[in-house]
A and B are shown apart, each in its own frame.
Chain A
């Protein structure tokens, strides 16, 4: 099974900060990596798919990069609605999928 890790597990930041979250796979997953934002009491929202493709309607302050085993989600200027938990997801083993453990972004 492909295992996913994320770092950090949590971080504190201020509005306007640049935030970077890392996701690592236990084996190469090419570029089959997605990112979701999850707010309490709400359904997850797709932000980025296939490592770097921005989902329609998602602000351009979100960007993704990486390949193989190491991937990054960057928020260029953190906004109040971005205080949430972020999850990566690998689809290399489709139709079996795995999420990372999440990175919680809270207010400094």
Chain B
């Protein structure tokens, strides 16, 4: 069974960038899809973007366009999320999750989930 292992907590200055990794353990990333979701303090879950191989390019939520990059390295079964121009309101726990498919293309669900990476943006 695949488990997702994420990189450790980060503390960043406003305006800088952060890169969070997500490695599949006990399985591979081949033809796998990954989503990134964050939860800011006291807030709900927010889908940020993801990679689904059947589509040619990563997809990003509108509010992160131009600031977010998601890549997947199948050779190392590792996905990366890089968020640029950090602001204080980017302080959150960032989760990666596997995207699973049913019989229909839109029949998706997120499982498993990584344990989360705390990113704190503070001057």
Chain A interface residues toward B at CB < 8 A: 1, 30, 32, 34, 36, 38, 43-46, 49-50, 55, 85, 87, 89, 91-102
Contact = CB atoms under 8 A, between A and B. Distances in A.
Contacts of A91: 106-109
B90 interface: no
Contacts of A1: 62
Interface stretch (B10-18, B24-32, B41-49): B41-49
In this complex, the member of B111, B114, B116 whose beta carbon has the largest number of chain A beta carbons within 10 angstroms is B111
A89 B37 CA distance: 12
Interface residues of B, number: 28
Interface in B86-110: 95, 97, 100, 102, 105-110
Q: Is the interface of B mostly helix, strand, loop or mixed?
A: strand
A1 B65 CA distance: 15
A85 B37 CA distance: 16
Contacts of A49: 100, 102, 107, 109
Nearest to B54: A95
In this complex, the member of B39, B50, B52, B108 whose beta carbon has the largest number of chain A beta carbons within 10 angstroms is B108
A101 B42 CA distance: 11
